[in-house]
Amino acid sequence: MGKVIAISGKGGVGKTLISTLLVRWLTENNIKNILAIDADPDSNLAESLDTEYDKSIGDIREELSCKSLPPGVERKKYLEGKIFEITVETDKFDLLVMGRPEGPGCYCAVNHMLRSIIDSTTKAYEYTIVDTEAGLEHLSRRTTENVDVMLIVTDTSRKGFKTAARIKGLLQEMNIKANKIFLVLNRIKEEDKEIIKEEAKLTGLDVAMEIFEDPLVRKYDLEGIPLIKLPRDSETYKAIENAMESAEWM
């Protein structure tokens, strides 16, 4: 059965970077069945993974809500096929984009179907990496459910830590099965290292990864180079590799 790893945190802290490099790490470790889910409408995981997508689940939801299917066609099966159709298949991984949040229509029933389809879809993959949005909209609407590992990313700002603590609380409140919740520290400056560790302790979460500020990542971001192309020996990729190799939660 597949393992679902979700990456959350305040906007702009580097969730997409972590998601991208996790996908990359998995592909480099001979995992064949990987699904990446872009659940953050404010970012672009597809671009960061050096691929493109045509349609999102949001588009399909809208299409479906204004479409009358022939009565003999089962809506859920139809939806399942549509989701398959919009799944981007690359040599090494698949990608599904959740897309924009809901319009004014009704989605109780459609969301319920989506939930169970996404749930069974993730079971078909060895690993699913979910890049979530800051507000945890999809989690609270339960379109992504049953997360095995939640990595909460924060930069060194006070706000980042605050959001991390809030997410932890929210997860517990929603009873979401995050068997393991970890903190990922991103963009650490050497001189702040000690203070940051103190801050991290206050959240009550274990730290899964420590990533230092990396001018190369900034350059890639600035020039729009897909982050998946970061060199193997870049500090950031090495940090992720190290963390993953010794990660007991995998």
Partner 1 sequence: MEIDIKKLPVDIGVVYEGERIRGPDTFVELGGPKVEFKAELTQVVDEKDVVDGKITVIGKDIPQFTCGEKVPFGILLEVYGEKIEKDLEGVIERRVHDFLNYVQGFMHLNQRYDIWCRVSNEAKEKGLTFEDIGKALIWLFKEELPFIEKMQITFMTDEEKVKEHRETALGLYEKRDARIRGMKDEEVEEFYGCSLCQGFAPNHLCIISPQRISLCGSISWLDARAAAKVDPDGPNFAVPHGEVLDEKNGEYAGVNEAVKEYTTGANERIYMYSMFDYPHTSCGCFEAIAFYIPEVDGIGIVDRNFQEEAVNGLKFSSMATQSGGGEQMEGFLGMGIEWMHSPKFFSADGGWDRIVWMPSHLKNRMSDAIPKEIIDKIPSEDDTSSLNELKDFLKEKNHPITQRWKSVVTDELKEKVTEYIQEKNGEIYPDQASADLGLSEDELMNVIDVLQKDGTLG
Nearest distance from C-beta of residue 229 to partner 1, angstroms: 20
Selected from 31, 58, 59, 65, the binder of partner 1 by CB under 8 A is 65
DSSP reduced 3-state for 95:
strand
Rounded distance between C-alpha atoms, residue 102 and residue 118, angstroms = 17
Rounded distance between C-alpha atoms, residue 137 and residue 116, angstroms = 17
Selected from 78, 137, 165, 210, the binder of partner 1 by CB under 8 A is 78
175 within 8 A of 151, measured Cβ to Cβ: no
Selected from 85, 192, 206, 245, the binder of partner 1 by CB under 8 A is 85
Rounded distance between C-alpha atoms, residue 202 and residue 23, angstroms = 30
Kindly write out the interface string for residues 33-62 of this chain, putting x where it contacts partner 1 by CB under 8 A and - elsewhere: x-----------------------------
User: Using CB under 8 A, which residues numbered 107 to 126 contact partner 1?
Assistant: 107-110, 112-113, 120-121, 123-125
Q: Does residue 77 belong to the site contacting partner 1 (CB under 8 A)?
A: yes
| Residues 61, 114, 2, 11, CA torsion sign | positive
C-alpha angle with apex 170: 122 to 197, nearest 5 degrees?
Answer: 95
Instruction: Provide the binding-site residues for partner 1, judged by CB under 8 A.
Output: 32-33, 64-66, 68, 70-78, 80-81, 84-85, 89, 91, 94, 104-110, 112-113, 120-121, 123-125
